[in-house]
Amino acid sequence: MKTEKSNITMMEFILLGFSDVPHLKWILFGIFFLMYLIILMCNSIIILVTRIDPALQTPMYFFLSNFSFVEISCVTVTIPRILTDLVAQNGNISLLTCAIQLWFFFIFAGIECLLLTVMAYDRYMAICKPLLYALMMNHRMCVQLVAACWVTVIPLVTGQTYQIFSLPFCGSNRINHFFCDIPPILSLACGDTFVNNLAIFLASAVFTMVPFVLITVSYGKIIFSILKLSSAGGRSKAFSTCSSHLIVVVLFYGTCAITYIQPNTKASDGIGKVLSLFYTVFIPLLNPIIYTLRNKEISAALRKLPQKLLI
């Protein structure tokens, strides 16, 4: 059917989202709206306390504040659109708007991947190379590392987005998803998408598997160094500063890798949508909770926050 209509290119898609459960639209709206508010509030508080508390003026919290900013940006690309579609029950989205949403989402998602790697490197330097830490991880180096994440991601995502939306779309225009994600969009393209799928696979490997391997190696060395510490208190403190980041890494990279490296089949559409909910909504909701509950310094800064705001 797609081949017969190859001279027609769709100019609009329809995001099916949660249209299969219209009787639950207001319940889903309330859940997603509440989640969005919590994500905004919790990440904004993390950014605020890491900026105003002198005890948190360290590279680790500089990277964490940048990570929180990217988390806010990432969910803002998807959740407002989900809320709008739930209320209007109309998932129509133009080709250009779809491309813009995909572009922004994967820029922020790619930066998250690289920031998690940078945060692992920071922990490695702090625990394994403590004498060089202050010299190597100065403010200028931290800014350069964050800038490198942006500079690395933007050209690659721009090229991928252009490559995908240069394809003709001439069959069904119904996207079985709640946002413009790569696998469901490619499934609607006409002609041979082997090159596109290969490029997506390689990009996914670069931004998920390679950083995950680097993080794993870093934490292998970190754990080895911690176990050599003679002080039980020192070991406990070192583990507490690393455990929250490690939990976030496993959750984020796990769902991303499964989503974008799995075979692109019709049977995986429903699974892909559920996994996408995890890394677009649930994990950003859990991240600030994980960092605040498992980090004594942030917890202490939060207790002092009302007093600091009143001064």
Q: What are the tens digits of pLDDT across the range 27-62?
A: 999 999 999 999 999 999 999 999 988 888 899 999
**Nearest alpha-carbon partner for 240 in 60, 38, 37:** 60
CATH code: domain of residue 191: 1.20.1070.10
pLDDT given at position 194? 80
pLDDT given at position 311? 60
CA atoms within 13 A on the CB side of 138: 3
Could you tell me the two tokens for 300? Answer: 């202490």
Burial class (CB in 10 A: 0-12, 13-18, 19+), 237: middle
> Phi/psi of residue 240, each to 5°?
-65, -35
Burial class (CB in 10 A: 0-12, 13-18, 19+), 230: exposed
> Phi/psi of residue 175, each to 5°?
-100, 115
pLDDT given at position 259? 64
Q: Are 302 and 221 in contact (CB under 8 A)?
A: no
Residue 13's DSSP bridge partners are 93
pLDDT given at position 211? 85
Residue 165 is part of which domain span? 12-310
* 245: in domain: yes
In the chain, how many domains are there? 1
Residue with tokens 């690659």: 156
Q: Which are the contacts of 121, defined by CB distance < 8 A and separation ≥ 6? A: 145, 214, 218
Q: What are the tens digits of pLDDT across the range 113-125?
A: 899 999 999 989 9
* 4: in domain: no
* 1: in domain: no
- For CA atoms 237, 238, 241, 242, the dihedral sign is negative
The whole-number mean pLDDT for each consecutive block of 10 residues of the chain, a chain of 311 residues, reads 46 85 89 95 91 88 93 94 88 91 93 92 90 91 95 91 86 85 84 80 79 87 82 69 78 70 54 78 85 75 74 60
* 6: in domain: no
* 120: in domain: yes
Could you tell me the two tokens for 182? Answer: 């790569």
